Structure 1
Amino acid sequence: MKKFNFKKVLDGLTSSSAPPAKPETEITETLGSEHFQVSKTVRHGFPYQPTAMAYDPVQHILAIGCKSGSIRLFGRPGVDCHVMHDNDAAVLQLIFLVNEGALVSVCSDDSLHLWNLRQKRPAILHSLKYNRERITYCHLPFQSKWLYIGTERGNVHIANIESFVLSGYVINWNKAIELSQRTHPGPVVSLSDNPTDSTKLLIGFETGMIVQWDLKTKTAECRYACEQQTLHSLAWHHEGKQFMCSHSDGSLSVWNYRSPSKPAQVFQPHGHPAQKGSKPEACRPIMKVAWPTSRTGDPFIVFSDGLPYERSGRRPCITVMQGKSVTVLEMEYPVVNFLPVSSTPWPNDFQDPYAIIVLLENDLVVIDLTTPGYPCFQNPYPMDLHESPVTCCTYYADCPPEMIPAFYTVGSRQQKKTGFSDKNWPVKGGEWGTSTCSYPEIIITGHADGSLKFWDASAVTLQLLYKLRTSKIFEKQPLNQSTEYEEDPFAIVKIAMCCESRILCVAGTSGHVIVYRYNKVETTVDVPTLEIALVYEVDDLDSPDTDQIPPPMPPPSSSVGSAGSGGMPSPSPHHSTSSEGAEKVGSPLLKVKSGPQKMVPGYQVDLCAQLVTVEGEPPSQILCLAINSLYGLMAFGNMQGLAIVDIIQKTTLLNLGTPDLYGSADPYTRTQPRSPQRKKPPAGLGDLGEAQAVEQERCRSPTTERDESNGVCLSPTGTTRKKLADIKRNRNQPRPRMSKAHSTASMEGNGGDADSKDGSFSRSRSSSMSSLENVSAEGINCLSFTESYTRKTGPSKSRHRRPSKEQQHVTPAFFPTPTTYMVTPEHSEAFEHHKRKVHQTLSLDPVTSPCLWVGTTLGSVLVIVLNLPPQGDQRLTQPVIVSPSGHSPDVEKEERNSRKAKFTSMLNNRLRWGLMKHRTTQWDHLGTILRLKGAILAMSFLDCNGMTIPPLFAKWEDPKKKEENREAKDGQSMQRRGWQQLQHLHRQKAPSSPTTETISDRQFVVICSEKQAKVISLPSQTCAYKLNITETSFVCKADVVSIANSVCLACFLANGHIMTFSLPSLRPLLDSDFLPLADMRIAQTFSFSNCGQALYLCTPSEIQRITLAADTCESLQEMLCELFLPVDTPEGPKQSFFKGLFSSPSIVDKEELFGEAASGKASRSVAKHIPGTGGIEGVKAEAGSAMAEVQKARMALVERGEKLSELEERTEALKVGSEMYASSAHQVMEKYKNKKWYQL
């Protein structure tokens, strides 16, 4: 006899469901850790907080240094490189080794670095760190290997640029000044050698002292004492006989090289001449001056600022003077630096400048000096990324290839800026990579001014395709109201786009969502609008003795869609307990322009949904946004609740607070049900029916408008208010009785009850939830439209037995007691269709159906079933019904007929599930509820093979071609064909046998939250795999992405780690400590995409792209640009024989002056030499090419050996043959040797 086990009986009673069943067939996962490698690819945008700039006039490469220690290198359009110092010290100065493929950077931590630009990823070759003195200015003469380093103490050191070793030659400040001078001259602010005599070094000190130092004699040859204010910069004339100084009082002084006693000229370019007895006009400092000369005219004098202080409100400027011509070019931002661009690198030659590169704090401007008026070149780099602050980013890799030409076509028609120079962009160095990506990529950026920019991000470039301004449809706000709620009322917070149908949804910070459709032709339409009051108020917990029913609240009149929408009244979901609730709902923050509006080709407005203010409070920010072009539905949610909008009929389908989605299955019990003992309803409601227990079950939807005259609960799914008024209530029909049904819910993915160990509802969702006072703030954080199983199935026979005829038409328990209405003939067809759809959904056979998966900020996942009309004309007229998944498993037999009648009455009135809740009557949620720790971040669906189920879409068609196709193919559009394909591919039914013990799962849903990731099998809703991602941090962004012909779950954590997990087993594949979350901007803009690509906004003006794919990292070297190209250095100026004989100085070898033999070694305490790693990468690259050559040689050697072997074999065969021939010949000879001729 089998032993009785009491413990097993208890376990069976306490457990809610069987443990997760092992999948019948294991899915083969092809991804491994070798497929992943995190690497930065390229950075786009304007360098944030620039501090320095340099230009190579031979290689035509521009370098910009930033405060964060990063350096950006630019060449021709598409050539862009980013490097970063090991620390975050600001870059003070950049110096090119002209035409040598090297760059010197001077940082604020008193260090110098030599960068090797001859490799695709520049790296540091040498570093020199000063210990005792602070570096203020450096100078490297053309074609010299000795770098002059000025310090804060006034000393000048000299370093060998090749070895980065200090020379023993030092110019001390006390030797440079006169012996009679007792004050310190200040820091070195300028160093420059004479263009015609490299042995003469001009040293400029901050106090205005200028010293001409003779390097050979080691003495001060001349001293120039500027009586003006502080010295800022020096500039030589190319002949080397004069130099110019800029001062802090806005003046310029010109000095003759041989006349140190007084300046040859002193003038204030922007100051009025000083009258007798008065002081000159005070002007701003001139921070920098340049004195380039021209062969064809007077020399140019270019300087920054210097305007008078009295002229308030003047912008920063660059002044260009040539002869008597003075041109002031105003800039939008403060000037950081400027450089004249010439075709020769020789300082003793005519520069003939043709452009001026001006670096501003937020822009890069290049001025054309060869065109009258000095127009600017049009910047080809994507530096206008931050024209308005970026608020969100969306990345689409491997998108349809026709999207880029489509956006470029409409973008090229947009009005172009005029007034630019027609010359080619002068920065033209470098070369593009040899390979590109095989798939197109698009980046969409949303900005604070309400604009969107579409960028072509294919390969490693970024090019603007199209710009869309969402603020055009709104009226301009008065100045006194523009900052009432938001500083940027049009700022973009969420972007959702269906790439196949080209439908775009944009959510703004003022609670507005705009739906756009792509159109190639210009149109003029009224903008359809919907106003929605999305808010939830937690009711006060009433005692069980409370028996007073509050009077119903009429909805506000402001929640009615505009006439231009051609749609329905948009109901108000405001949940209130007072009769004054109508006064709480206000109007939208933004007002849409009335009347027809002209829509240019491109994205044109199809619908604008707006959240209204409640009690004077603005709507909370929209947290998630989803669109499905095949269903024609759009959904969005915030901290108050969820809204579903039909973008085809322009109506609101669902409009509920988040707790309302749970119904009686709310795990947090935010509302307490009232006592079943009810008093009579207030006056005005008694004539609606019998004042009995039926009135207790009545429900007035918070999103439904009530006609106070007859008490009819109107649904917003009709076309006009007038049509809804035609639906008359049939009072002669008796009201059937309805009883409560049992409430069931699926917990934690295993379908358990509330007592399940892994799936029970927890009163505290995480350690951060200290009490139940916080659970009321639950918002919608994630949305996903899909074709999936909406109801749980289990292995038990009782669950899968064939239902009776009555059970097949059971009405869900959440439907309230409805009233009865007459059915007009024009709606009968729609009602019959919805009957079939809902009956099919409620059948016990597991069937995939359109649904919306909803994830909340408290870790709940709910499913909403979408009952869609047939595509075509019926979709334009018949309503869409939304309802939670599930059905009532236990219904009394005597109630089935009454429930069928109620269900039919409900369909006749076209009431939606979302409109059925009232605080006095609770419905039971019987659908899917899954639970995870932390807010839900991502949801994706896999098929039985572990591959992502692609989103459903309706292919975009040109309206003209669409009409032609309709006529040619009897009106069968792409959308209808897509729907038929959907029916064929995704409508998978379970086995029809009523005695099936087990039903195989055919889908997986991958859900990722801030703490966990789960893979749920569908339709059994069992938790197949579960993973706790982190305990000490939280996930910021997560998504299921494709890589290496497979899929994985990618997560970016707040601690800077990037993690990937295989699917569906959630096996860890990658954990890289990539980037610390130093700014919330990174978390807000981080975006994963297919093919292992990702991006984030690293600075307010720069986008950083990264890759997770190892194969992309391997091919990245070929995709990156070349910065250095072998180019011959232009020849120097030619001098006449006599001029060179009498005026040219003797050439001195600097090695004899600064070398170790002549000057000795510098003190080790002055600076420390640090070897870099740049040479290693170069050596690796060279070693790789050398290995390739060796491999080729080895292969050639092997082939040669094989040929030699063949030759040897042939030779051996010939040898054997010859030996046999010789032996045969010898035998013949022996045979006939002694015979006479006649014997032969």
Structure 2
Amino acid sequence: MDKAKRRLASALDGFRSNHSKMDISVDERVNSEHCCLKKVVRFGFPDESRCLAYDPVQRLLAIGTEHGTVRIIGEVGVDHILRHGTDHGVNHIQFVINDGSLITACSNDMIHLWNYRLKVPEIKLSIEMNKENVSTIHLPMNSKYLYVGTIKGNVYFVSLDTFQLSPYVIMWNKAIDLSCRIHPGPVRQIAACPTDPSKILIAFERGIVIQWNLATKEVDRFPLDPPIKSVSWHYDGKQVMTGNVDGSVSVFNTKKTSEPAHKSFPHGQTDCRPIPNIDWKHTGENEQVVVFSGGMPTDDGLPPPALTILKASRHATVMEMENPIISFITLQQVPYNSSPQQPHAIAVLLKHDLMIIDLQTPGYPIIESPHAMDLHESPVTCLQYYSDCPSDLIGALTLVGYKQRKKGFSERQWPINGGHGRECATGFQELVITGHKDGSLRFWQASGENLQILYRLKTGSHFERLEELESSEKVSHAIKYIEMCLESRLLLVAGISGQVTLFRFAKSETTNTIAVVHIPNLCVTSNSSIVDERPGLSSQSSKEMKRQKKVVSRDSTASPDTSDASGDERIVPFKVRGAPVKRPAGYQPELACLIPWPSHVSSDMVTSIALNSAYGVIAIGTTSGLALVDIAQCALIYAWSTAELYGSDPTPAIQLSNQLSDASSPLESPGCLSEPRNNLIRLNTDTRQKSLDKRPLLFKAQSVIEQHSNGSPRGEHPKESPSLSRSGNTSSPAVSTHSLEKLGLGESVTSVQFIHSCSKRNEAKTSPCIWIGTSTGAAIALNLILPQDRLVSTVVVAPSAFEDCTIVRMKGQILLHAFMDEKFCIVSPASESYKESSRESKDSGSPEKSVTNKIVTKPSLSPAYSSSLDCSDEVNQFLIVVAENEIKVIALPSFSQAFHYKTEEIPLVKAVPTHVRGHPVLMCLTAAGYIQVISLPSLRLLHSAQLLPRSVDVDDPICHQTAFSEHGLGIFMTSPSEMEKYTICTELAEQTADSMGELYVTCEMPEAPKSSSFLKGVSSIFGNSPRQADATDLECILSGDKDKSVIGGSAGMRSIARTIPGPAANMDRAHASGISAGQAAQMALQNLNERSDKLNAVVDSTENLKNSAMNMASRSTKLVEKFEKKKWYNF
């Protein structure tokens, strides 16, 4: 085993337990009562949608999903979600018109009655079908009974008042013709006559349709050739339109159902698809409007999903859809079906979209939706969430995004405008950025509990794929990481194929060329530095750097290169379009960084990115190393493989050869031990070539490492600190095979953070730094020296990882570096304010004035020392390092451990510092899908609640689709097409509950149309036709009061279905019965006293009655004696 490996591995193992500890006590004002997990609102298109319902009076639309949820949408801000207790899908849904109630039928054969008059809708009653499976439901207008069709072909009736089955049942064998020897199949549709509620149409799966009279139990059967798939009533109740299997449309007279009165083929008499849904409406001018899905010809194979609109005075209009049609509903102005309904729009539920078609505008355009139903137009691959975004940035994005608005929409307003919208509970300007698989970015405003599109950006338009990698699946524009500076409006985007682009915001269109930086092949360097060390090579030849062969201005017509690729078989899947392009206002690409692939089958992927506008530097962490790029000069500063971060020479801004000498590492360079100044890595720039417009060029790069002229080692002495020894003469301890295994597997950079902090042990001076976290648990600090004039000089990097305790060793992959000042306030790195032309007007003054950290926590709300004895003047900052299996709070510059929290049982996968009621906390996502709230800096667990329904790991895509932000807010993709916002702050949760809008708004029911009841009554008296049953008669029929011969009565229905009270009824019952023993004794004593009082009253009453009786008896005796003595004659 070679010596370099042994020294490095043993030093890494020494870091695990040699950190000194600091005992301090902190008073924190945050406690567990301040934390709770509350889901606020859900955005996007309901995933796996199954059914659709509409209330024409309340103007609300409900969508049921396979996951057991119901989304009810109305006007802007009205978007509520109803969750069932289980995940069984919602197959059918029906509004009780203008009643504030909703009926859902789930796949577990449970039918629920919801009450959405409340701010939080809840289930009022439920019924479970035990022996039947629900196939369809139907609720006629103003009916008190719900019609339920089953898979066995039977029809049941459920009372809405009690949610119990009626004894009236329509059995399938009574409905079909005796000549039919096959089962008709499940009931697929039930439709009540709009004028006579006693007549209903029942459509079966096999194409059989019957007309059933509830009062007389008479059956009228429709012909079976062709089989009927769907039916729709005429508003007068005398005609029925059917959609058939062969794609034809038939019209039947209800008095003669044996043959159709009219039959047509809208798409020709060739082979056509069936018509599964058909709707027959009439306008105010009594013009027919027929809408149906399917029925398209099959000549050219499987036809696309289509919706056909037929009007009597026009030709057929076919609207082809991109996704399969699940259901559609005609939106009508009149809620009653017994008069012309006056349809004005069609709501079409597709598999991945919801659209509203305008019927009042020629051409039937789409009405633009205020709800974000196209969130998943391209699959979302990552999220970034800013809950406290500057308002001027929101305004700027709105201004540039207004020109991107899609054209061709209808000018009509959104017709589904029921309910009252939510108020903004937080009062923050919230910005959500979604990265998509097609390489696009979308900027959304999430303020006011509403998701509104602001701006769209295509990040792959300036890239071209190489022809040899055109068919590779790994070559993609999909977004992996998004980093944005809100103050400077700089945007850094990384793709999954190793492309990183820096965008700068411009208020007007400009013409520019993109600068290109080629990152060296760090995979080759990493492998060479670990395995292929050859002691026979000369040290001087290994440190001899190659100059960049050509210098190209960023304003040239060709794509500029910043590294020389000669002698290197570079595999870069993309190339940048180099010609000047006129770009619209908004985010414009300025710099592109390309990471080469090791081979055609494997890619060196980006694992972390960081951007700092004040430093003018971006950091790109990959699976094999780290690269720093100067955004002021658009040039590569330096690149390191992961092994080089521990002490090897950095890879220069040009590609190195694979031959590295044994002395090229500082681990064996005795001349590098005495002065840290000698370790500064300088970038010499050639300023002789400048363009006429004074814009910076891409300068030549050369790496120079200063060495002492004499080779004698100075300051050579053994060190007891856990830092890495850089002396070649120091003896190595025993080598740990565990560390060797980690090095052999390859170490990636998983976390990068710019900050103004201490990077060396016991050195109180703070300076710009970059903290690097690796997949093996190492946290490394590098000093950045920022020149005063960035147009002439570039950033200098000084590795400080070789001083005392500058490498912090953790268990598991590093997830986060966070910092607090000496007063326990969370600090964030400095940033530059936005300027229209910031590169030309960049401040060239002293960097110390503009790179200091920003204090995020209010000092009045920050924790404090328990006593003055705990306060130490030696502590300048606190470093918070979050790894998979532990969290440490380390005091700087002593690098002493202040607090420690272990998470070995359930590792962490994501963490972000935030605030709860202004107090600093750490919000973490565990591998079990739980959100944990941990106090800062004492690392106390405050709250833990489940957010995700499944377990995750660090590399799970859901980690990129989950974002934490300030004020304890977060957002995540709850499904491929839905995004949900949540909070961990109890105060925000209460504010959200108080500011919730209302679904139900009190509306007067429109007056029912008047029918010619007098003429119908006369015809029924003098004619032979029976009188039509009204709603009262129908209620008596279905309740079984008029027919005692039904099967078993109400008692027989209990074996078929059972009624289940809702949670509210159970709560009332539990509250009524949930009394203590003392309360029961007190009630018993009170009842006893009341009984005694009643008995005494009875005794008194009895005595009074006795006295009254005795008085009456004496009076009667005297009266008898008086009349006995009286003479009965007068003569």
Partner of 2:362: 372
Is the counterpart of residue 423 in structure 1 residue 412 in structure 2?
yes
Secondary structure of 2:771 counterpart: strand
Cα deviation, residue 552, structure 1: 6.2
SS of the aligned residue for 1:88 comes to: coil
Letter in 2 for 1:321: L
Q: Answer yes or no: is 1:406 the counterpart of 2:289.
A: no
Following superposition, the deviation at residue 743 of structure 1 comes to 9.3
C-alpha separation in 2, matches of 1:853 and 1:506: 20
Deviation at 1:591, TM superposition (A): 1.6
Q: Which residue of 2 aligns with 1:6?
A: none
User: What is the match of residue 711 of structure 2?
Assistant: 737
* Residue 874 of structure 2 corresponds to residue 1000 of structure 1: yes
Q: Distance in 1 between matches of 2:458 and 2:16?
A: 57
Letter in 2 for 1:1008: V
Distance 1:1138 1:1101, change over 3 A: same
Please tell me whether residue 473 in structure 1 is matched to residue 472 in structure 2: no
Contact kept? 1:747, 1:931, Cα under 8 Å: no
- What is the match of residue 226 of structure 1? 224
CA distance in 2, matches of 1:1117, 1:1180: 25
Contact 1:110 1:129 in 2 (8 A): yes
Match of 2:579 among 588, 591, 595: 595
Query: Is the Cα contact below 8 Å between 2:166 and 2:1053 reproduced in 1?
Result: no
Flag the 1:979–1:333 CA change in 2: closer, same or farther, 3 A. farther
| 8 Å contact from structure 1 (residues 1007, 1014) kept in 2 | yes
1:875 paired residue among 780, 784, 790: 790
- What is the CA–CA distance in structure 2 between the aligned matches of 1:561 and 1:1178, rounded to whole Å? 80
State yes or no: 1:329 paired with 2:202.
no
**Aligned partner of residue 402 in structure 2, secondary structure:** helix
Aligned partner of 2:597 in structure 1 is 613
Per the TM alignment, residue 247 of structure 1 is displaced from its structure 2 partner at its CA by: 2.4
Match of 1:852?
A: 770
Equivalent residue letter for 1:486: K
Q: Distance in 2 between matches of 1:115 and 1:747?
A: 68
TM-score, reference length from structure 1: 0.74
Cα distance in 1 between the residues matched to 2:369 and 2:882: 42
Query: 2:1125 corresponds to which residue?
Result: none
Q: Deviations over 1:963-1015 (max 9, x none)?
A: 9xx8xxxxxx77869952556999xxxxxxxxxx9862121011111111110
CA distance in 2: counterparts of 1:729 and 1:81, whole angstroms: 60
Q: Aligned pair 1:1106/2:982, yes or no?
A: yes
SS in 2 for 1:212: strand
1:527 aligns with 2:524: no
Indicate the SS of the match to 1:356.
Answer: strand
| Alignment match, 1:1019 | 893
Report 1:254-269 matches (<5 A): 254-269=251-266
**AA at the equivalent of 1:250:** G
SS of alignment partner, residue 889 of structure 2: strand
Counterpart amino acid of 1:20?
K
Distance 1:1101 1:211, change over 3 A: same
Distance apart, 1:474 and its partner CA = 2.1
The structure 1 residue matched to 2:486, chosen from 495, 499, 502, is 499
Once the two structures are TM-superposed, the CA of residue 417 in structure 1 deviates from its matched residue by 2.2
The more displaced of 857-866 and 527-536 is: 527-536
- Given that 2:530 and 2:643 are in contact with CA atoms closer than 8 Å, whether structure 1 keeps it comes out as no
What is the letter of the counterpart of residue 226 of structure 1?
Answer: L
Alpha-carbon distance in structure 2 between the residues aligned to 1:92 and 1:1163: 23
* 1:289 CA displacement: 0.4
Q: 1:1145 aligns with which of 1010, 1019, 1028?
A: 1028
Counterparts in 2 of 1:132 and 1:975: CA distance versus 1, 3 Å? farther
Which deviates more, 32-41 or 1021-1030?
1021-1030
Once residues 821 and 421 of structure 2 are traced to their aligned partners in structure 1, the CA distance between those partners, rounded to angstroms, is 41
How far apart are 1:607 and its partner, in Å?
A: 1.1
**The one of 468, 471, 474 aligned to 1:486:** 474
Change (3 A) 1:1154 1:18: closer
Whether contact under 8 Å (1:20, 1:750) holds in the other structure is no
The equivalent residue for 1:1199 is none
CA offsets, 1:188-220, max 9 Å, x none? 111111111001121111222222212122x23
Measured against aligned partners, the alpha-carbon deviations of 1:4-42 in whole angstroms (never above 9, x if no partner) come to: xxxxxxxxx99996842324xx44311100100101110
Equivalences for residues 637-786 of structure 1 within 5 A: 637-663=621-647, 717-718=685-686, 735-737=709-711, 739=713, 763-764=737-738, 772=741, 775-786=744-755
Cα deviation for residue 672 of structure 1 reads 14
Is 1:177 aligned to 2:176, yes or no?
yes
Q: Deviations over 1:1195-1217 (max 9, x none)?
A: xxxxxxxxxxxxxxxxxxxxxxx
1:304 and 2:188 matched: no
- Contact 2:15/2:809 (<8 A) preserved: no
Q: Which stretch has the larger CA shift, 178-187 or 75-84?
A: 178-187
| Equivalent position amino acid for 1:1053 in 2 | T
Bigger shift: residues 1062-1071 or 1113-1122: 1113-1122
Deviation at 1:475, TM superposition (A): 3.5
1:271 corresponds to = 268
Seen in structure 2, the aligned counterparts of structure 1 residues 751 and 532 have a Cα distance that, compared at 3 Å, is closer
1:553 to 1:472, Cα distance in 2 relative to 1, 3 A: farther
How far apart, in 1, do the equivalents of 2:608 and 2:15 lie? Answer: 38
2:1082 alignment partner in structure 1: none
Per-residue CA deviation, residues 349-398 of structure 1 (Å, 9 max, x unaligned), is 10111111111111111111111111111122111111111110001012
Letter in 1 for 2:757: S
Aligned equivalent of 2:375: 385
Secondary structure of the residue aligned to 2:395 is helix
Task: Show the 5 A alignment for 1:822-1221.
Answer: 845-870=763-788, 874-885=789-800, 928-959=806-837, 980=849, 982=851, 1000-1031=874-905, 1033-1077=906-950, 1080-1136=956-1012, 1138-1139=1014-1015, 1141-1142=1017-1018, 1145-1149=1028-1032, 1150-1155=1034-1039, 1157=1041, 1160-1161=1049-1050, 1162-1173=1052-1063
Task: Identify the range of structure 1 (430-439 vs 201-210) with the bigger mean alpha-carbon deviation.
Answer: 430-439
Q: 1:370 to 1:597 in 2, by over 3 A?
A: same
- Match of 1:289? 278
Instruction: Tell me the secondary structure at the aligned position of residue 325 of structure 1.
Output: coil
Within 5 A, what are the aligned runs for 1:45-444?
45-217=44-216, 219-229=217-227, 231-272=228-269, 281-312=270-301, 314-323=303-312, 324-414=314-404, 416-444=405-433
CA contact (8 A) 1:456 1:465 kept: yes
> Match of 1:410, SS?
helix
Instruction: For 1:485 and 1:631, locate their aligned partners in 2 and report how far apart those are by CA, in whole Å.
Output: 37
Q: 1:1140 to 1:421 in 2, by over 3 A?
A: farther
> Per the alignment, do residues 738 and 698 of structure 1 end up closer, same or farther by CA in structure 2, a change over 3 Å counting?
closer
Q: How many residues align?
A: 992
In structure 2, what is the Cα distance between the partners aligned to 1:472 and 1:15? 47
Name the stretch that deviates more: 535-544 or 143-152. 535-544
1:1216-1235 correspondence to structure 2 within 5 Å: none
Are the equivalent residues in 2 in contact too, given 1:440–1:458 (CA < 8 A)?
A: yes
Secondary structure at the aligned position of 2:790 is classed as: helix
Q: Output the CA distance in 1 between the equivalents of 2:735 and 2:882.
A: 18
- Structure 1 contact 751–1021 (Cα < 8 Å) conserved: no
Distance 1:538 1:858 in 2: 17
Quote the offset at 1:485 in angstroms.
4.5
Please give the alpha-carbon distance, in whole angstroms, between the structure 2 residues aligned to 1:740 and 1:617: 48
From the superposition, tell whether residues 1180 and 89 of structure 1 become closer, same or farther in structure 2 (CA, over 3 Å).
same
**Letter of the structure 2 residue corresponding to residue 1164 of structure 1:** R
The whole-number CA distance in structure 2 between the counterparts of 1:290 and 1:14 is 74
Kept in 2, the 8 Å contact 1:570–1:716? The answer is no
Aligned partners of 1:227, 1:403: CA distance in 2, in Å?
A: 65
Distance 1:400-1:104 versus aligned 2 partners, 3 A rule = same
1:540 and 1:476 map into 2 onto residues whose CA distance is 32
The residue that corresponds to 1:459 in the other structure is: 448
- Offset at 1:869? 0.8
- Structure 1's unaligned 5+ residue stretches are 1-12, 273-280, 573-580, 679-692, 700-712, 754-758, 766-770, 794-844, 887-923, 967-972, 987-996, 1182-1240
Contact 1:694 1:737 in 2 (8 A): no
Matched residue SS, 2:454: strand
Q: Which runs of 5+ in 2 are unaligned?
A: 1-13, 651-657, 673-680, 691-696, 728-732, 856-870, 1020-1026, 1072-1131
**Kept after mapping to 1: 8 A contact 2:542/2:661:** no
Structure 1 pair 476/545, CA: closer, same or farther in 2 (3 Å)?
A: closer
The aligned amino acid for 2:470 is S
Counterpart CA distance in 1 for 2:808 and 2:659 is 23
Identity %: 34
Q: Following TM superposition, by how much is the alpha carbon of 1:271 offset from its aligned partner in structure 2, in angstroms?
A: 2.3
